[in-house]
Structure 1
Amino acid sequence: MSLPHLVTPVADPAPMRAPVHEPLVELWRGEMVEGVHHGSAVLLDPEGRARLAIGDIEAAFYPRSAAKPMQAVAMVRAGLDVDDDLLALAAASHSGETVHLAGARRLLASAGLGEEALKNPPDLPYDPVERESWLRADGQRSRLAHNCSGKHAAMVATCVTAGWAPGRYLDPAHPLQEAIRATVEELTGQRVATVTADGCGTPLFGISLHGLARAARRLVLAPGGSAEHRVAAAMRRHPEMVAGTRRDVTTLMRKVPGLLAKDGFEAVQVAALPDGTSLALKVADGADRARLPALLALLAEGGVDPAALAPLAPADLRPATTLAPTRTDPTEKP
């Protein structure tokens, strides 16, 4: 299948170096800071200019599952055409709830395939409640229960649609993965720095935080009918498929109108608002507890009402000074 719209960008790949991170989130106990999580973050304004940059936003890093919306765009461009809830699942790190497992089965069935077509490792459901229920019912690890099974099911379905051999869809040289790489480069505006395997086995491309934020902006501003618009619309219409009923990403997309958000392992987060304001962050030590407070601070800086975000903020984790929202009231004392 020819994909003429995939154009290699001229920008160089992000440099592979040890990033110089800065404080992002502080852990408070009583009246004292007990710990500090360092990291890097970028916030782009609607025109794509860096409004806030903390740490090293240009160094290469692995976006982990925050790359899934870009992977889904590539699949739609290659011919994947499924209902919106299933397209959202293709971009998901799901909790393993019944609706997610049923959705993965539907994706496979759309291509005439079963669970045996999946190449991701067997696992238990990601959500602790679902995992406990699964174990009490003597459930065994399965490929379907893995949080990436929606993406993998969509990948094999895309292969069948495009006429590509689905058996080796994890090979970086497979036409599907070559299409995904080209799409990642196009959306981020830079060539891939390096390639490795993600935890689920799919090729994982090294890019920059700045590039990841640019990609999110491309999705929310894409014209109707484009693959980018389809993926963004599906995720926002079905946030319960992107994560799960007890997950902060789902809650935020329900609470903030038009928000597109995707988290990733090792405390990575990407998000974008309908006007093109976009952000990407990475907590250096991979501690997921610091991801949400950093995300909330960036959303507030990007124009989301802090009062709407406050119920989600952990009491003992606060943005560091580098990430504190800009003061807009000239009479307010520092």
Structure 2
Amino acid sequence: MPSPVLSAAHSVAALLPQHAPLVTATRDGLVESIHYGSAIALESDGTTAAAAGEPLAPFYPRSSLKPLQAVAMVRAGLDLPAELLALAAASHSGGAKHRQGALRILEQHGLSVSDFANSRDLPYGPAEREEWLRNGGRATQLTQNCSGKHAAMAATCIINGWPVKGYLDPSHPLQQLVAGTVIELTGEEPLALSTDGCGTPLFAMTLRGMARAFGLIARAAADDDGTAAAAVGLAMQRHPEMVAGEGRDVTELMRLLPGAVAKDGFEGVQLVGLADGRSVAVKISDGGDRARMPAIVRLLEALGVDASPLLPLATAPVLGGGHPVGLLQATDFLNQLSTPVNEAP
């Protein structure tokens, strides 16, 4: 009779995505670490230009959903200055401008921090966190990296006469609108449902679907077509320091690659949309944050993007005694597909 433990292990293994090796860290010529994952690059018409691993496997986009959530809120009447709309789509570092921006959104709509429903945390940025702690700060809802989004969500409720209390409930009108917007922009139904770290409803999508959404947002911004997607994309491009923060790679990517709309997510997620509607998406299987950018730059190169300005993001030195002895860099992972991308997951 088969062991229940072995049977359970076999069924879990059967569900594991077939990721490919995307990024390696070498030390004095020896491969010390390997980051596996899946990746996809889409042409502007949605066809696949390059891919690796299993890009149709369901995954949780985490905070890379924020631009899509922001599009839903603008459609529902949210009208903010560009820097505050960028903050609504942000995983901010928790600096003074981020905290003050979230407070401005609240104050403009007669709200306060007591209306937040997100979790508490210290500032996400290392420098911002150290400064906050030096001044006696503690974990709060305002310093949590999603506070801009939550301020915007509460404001959208006020604008529409919806109850602020319970705005994170999946049955709330706001979250129903978000769900419909995510489905529309990705072109796919959620493959699973969960709750993000901040408490917001979370949808499992595919890399292809998320890439499609970012391509649509970036192209709308380039066309400046007056849509909610254009407003969000332009706000992020014009205020990348609000989307993340100084010293953050997502902020730097948007500065170095004009016309791009970029957003990261916890557990090794990175999305980039380009002005002509092309897009790229990466999920690092072990959640390794350092592997996102080397993989995403390699995908951008596959689309013919001049990635030379992105070289500082594409590699990082591996140090020994404070001196470079190796390199973090992308593998030649393109077209290492485990599942044909034109098949349903």
Where in structure 2 are the equivalents of 1:191-202 lying within 5 Å? 191-202=189-200
1:237 matches 2:248: no
2:3 corresponding residue in structure 1: none
Q: Structure 2 CA distance, aligned partners of 1:237 and 1:307?
A: 22
CA distance in 2, matches of 1:137, 1:254: 31
1:319 paired to 2:330:
yes
Q: Which residue of 2 aligns with 1:203?
A: 201
Alpha carbons 2:216, 2:273 under 8 Å: kept: no
Unaligned runs of 5+ in 2: 1-13, 318-326, 336-345
Q: CA deviation at 1:323?
A: 4.0
Runs of 4+ residues over 6 Å off in structure 1: none
Query: Residue 88 of structure 1 contacts residue 231 of structure 1 at CA under 8 Å; is this kept in 2?
Result: yes
By how many angstroms is 1:217 displaced? 1.0
What is the TM-score when the length of structure 2 is the normalising length?
0.87
* Distance in 2 between residues matched to 1:296 and 1:182, nearest whole Å: 31
- Structure 1 residue aligned with 2:119: 121
Instruction: State the number of aligned residues.
Output: 309
SS at match of 1:322: coil
Q: Which amino acid aligns with 1:301?
A: A
Does structure 1 retain, via aligned residues, the 8 Å contact 2:49–2:302? no
Q: 1:300 offset after TM fit, Å?
A: 2.2
Provide the alpha-carbon RMSD of the alignment. Answer: 1.3
- Cα deviation, 1:246-303, whole Å, max 9, x if unaligned, reads 1010011111111110000001000011111101110000010111111121122223
Show the counterpart of 1:23.
Answer: 21
Deviation at 1:321, TM superposition (A): 2.0
Report % sequence identity.
53
Residue in 2 aligned with 1:34?
32
Matches within 5 A, 1:216-227: 216-222=214-220, 224-227=225-228
The one-letter amino acid paired with 1:207 is: M
Secondary structure of residue in 2 paired with 1:192: coil
Q: Residue 321 of structure 1 aligns to which amino acid in structure 2? A: D
| Counterpart in the other structure of 1:214 | 212
Question: 2:87 touches 2:101 (CA, 8 Å); kept in 1?
Answer: yes
Aligned to 2:262: 261
CA offset digits 1:152-205 (Å, max 9, x no partner): 000000000011001100100000000000000000001111211100000001
Whole-angstrom CA distance in 2 between matches of 1:237 and 1:133: 26
2:140 alignment counterpart: 142
Q: Give, in angstroms, the shift of residue 307 of structure 1.
A: 2.0
Partner amino acid, structure 1, of 2:297: L
Contact 1:17/1:60, CA 8 A, preserved across alignment: no
Select the residue among 95, 98, 110 that pairs with 2:108.
110
Question: Which residue, out of 41, 47, 55, partners 2:53?
Answer: 55
Alignment match, 2:280: 279
